Amino acid sequence: MPRSAKVYIAGVIGTWAASMAFVLTHWQSDSLARFSVFLCLFVVAATLKYRVPGITGTYSPVFFFALLGSATLSLAEVAIAGACGGIVQCIFKPQRRPLLVQVFFNAASLSLSSSVAHLVVQPQVLGLAAQPLLISLVFGASVMYVVNTALVSVVLTLVQRESLTEVWKHWCLGSLPFYLVGVIIVAATLSAERQVTPEAALLVAPAILLTTIYFHIALRSPNNGLPHSQGVSRGV
């Protein structure tokens, strides 16, 4: 592995470790029952892994619950649930046994992107407090989308010595509709109130599962319009 890739990976994991130390020392939970339900949903969603054609890697519906959780959980809860989802996604039925550094990096990328989305959706970013919920969700989804895809695209570029533009563009073509549908489902779920009960989260889970399966079938179609290059890997 090139030295630049090692330095980058260490930097991402180190940033994640520092953020986890911060959230753990500032732990807050309004409902342990709700957090437990979301944690289970994160973990279960991480096991539903599908491949985008031309990408040696997987995506999962963790994004839906990360965005939904960002509107109702604390920052610490979202960061921990995201990390657990990233770990499970990496180690559950892998094509090849992952290295420990890969597990940590996957946990870091999903936890960091979920945490940044939480800061926007809650909202805690200056200038967003007065925005409607839908606007906050769109901003949160956009931030999570950019951060998550960028973190992995950069490491792939450094490790595989490919073009960053091509790696990122290829993944964006495949995953953007998935993110857009996620915003719609989450916005519909939160249309009545900002706080989501465990029961509501469980009720929306089947719709998320069906969306993921449909997206998987659509991507397998030879007429999906996606390029079919090889050697790119990542997880959502």
Every domain of the chain and the residues it spans = 3-50+67-220
pTM comes to: 0.80
Cα 81 to Cα 211: distance, rounded to the nearest angstrom: 21
The predicted-structure confidence for 173-222, as pLDDT tens digits, reads as follows: 666 666 777 777 777 777 655 556 777 777 777 777 777 777 767 666 55
- Could you tell me if 218 and 93 are in contact, meaning their C-beta atoms sit under 8 angstroms apart? no
User: Model confidence at 39, in pLDDT bands (50, 70, 90)?
Assistant: very high
Q: Residue 121: which residues within 8 A CB-CB, separation 6 or more?
A: 67, 70, 71, 136, 137, 139, 140
Tens-digit pLDDT profile for residues 44-93: 888 887 665 555 456 678 888 888 888 888 999 999 999 999 999 889 88
Sign of CA dihedral 184, 190, 196, 199: negative
Cα 42 to Cα 83, 133, 157, 162: the distances in Å are 9, 22, 28, 31
Taking the C-alpha atoms of residue 99 and residue 83, their distance in angstroms, rounded to an integer, is 16
124's tokens: 């805690």
User: Does residue 49 contact residue 60 with C-beta atoms inside 8 Å?
Assistant: yes
Please write the tens of the pLDDT for every residue from 111-154: 999 999 888 887 666 566 666 667 777 788 888 888 887 887 78
